[in-house]
């Protein structure tokens, strides 16, 4: 999902000529591809390898001028929301057990800070796609932080 999300945002950045966004999307894209390749070389499951190559191939579609900027922005927003929202799937278990071992508080807190910065940047750039995706990412991660503190009895 991360490969697809960063590929779409990279394409969107090039279409809008936003070098700031391009840089911040290309770096994690390259890192994700490298880490996935290492993982697949250590645990070479056929279905994972097939999914990886299919994702890389699908991601290349966004680099062509076939898709308009608005479609890339919309798809980037949707994949960002899905990527951010995945962590919320753990909430029923956290509510039931109050076990927060699956939440990395430092990473989630840094994500909140990151989303604040990028939401402000998106507002300054007047980019509705980035504003929505980063704003929802902030909201989803704040929910995780609040549930972390709730499960530990620090807030009610």
Nearest Cα neighbor of 72 from 15, 125, 31 is 15
Residue 35 lies inside a defined structural domain of this protein:
yes
Nearest Cα neighbor of 60 from 103, 127, 23, 7 is 7
Residue 69 lies inside a defined structural domain of this protein:
yes
SS3 sequence of the chain: CHHHHHHHHHHHHHHHCCHHHHHHHHHHHHHHHHHHHHHHHHCCCHHHHHHHHHHHHHHHHHHCCCCCHHHHHHHHHHHHHHHHHHHHHHHHHHHHHCCCCCCCHHHHHHHHHHHHHHHHHHHHHCCHHHHHHHHHHHHHHHHHHHHHHHHCCCCC
Residue 48 lies inside a defined structural domain of this protein:
yes
- Tally the domains of the chain: 1
Q: Which domain holds residue 128?
A: 2-151
- pLDDT digits over 12-56, tens only? 998 999 998 899 889 988 999 999 999 999 999 999 999 999 988
Question: 62 falls in which pLDDT band (50, 70, 90)?
Answer: confident
Question: 151 falls in which pLDDT band (50, 70, 90)?
Answer: very high
Length reported for the chain = 156
**pLDDT at residue number 78:** 92
How far is it, in rounded angstroms, from Cα 111 to Cα 141?
7
Residue 76 lies inside a defined structural domain of this protein:
yes
Token readout for 59 is: 């991601």
Residue 156 lies inside a defined structural domain of this protein:
no
Q: How far is residue 144 CA from its own chain's centroid?
A: 15
Quickly count: other Cβ atoms within 10 Å of residue 123's Cβ.
Answer: 14
């Amino acid at each position: 999902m991360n490969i697809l999300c960063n590929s779409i945002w990279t394409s969107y950045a090039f279409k809008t000529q936003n070098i700031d966004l391009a840089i911040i999307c290309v770096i994690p894209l390259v890192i994700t591809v490298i880490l996935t390749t290492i993982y697949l070389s250590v645990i070479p499951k056929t279905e994972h390898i097939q999914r990886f190559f299919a994702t890389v191939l699908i991601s290349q579609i966004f680099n062509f001028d076939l898709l308009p900027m608005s479609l890339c922005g919309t798809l980037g927003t949707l994949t960002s929301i899905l990527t951010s929202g995945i962590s919320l799937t753990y909430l029923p278990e956290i509510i039931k057990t109050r076990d927060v071992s699956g939440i990395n508080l430092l990473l989630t807190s840094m994500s909140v800070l990151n989303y604040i910065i990028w939401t402000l940047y998106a507002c300054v750039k007047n980019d509705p796609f980035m504003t929505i995706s980063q704003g929802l990412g902030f909201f989803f991660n704040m929910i995780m932080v609040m549930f972390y503190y709730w499960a530990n009895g620090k807030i009610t």
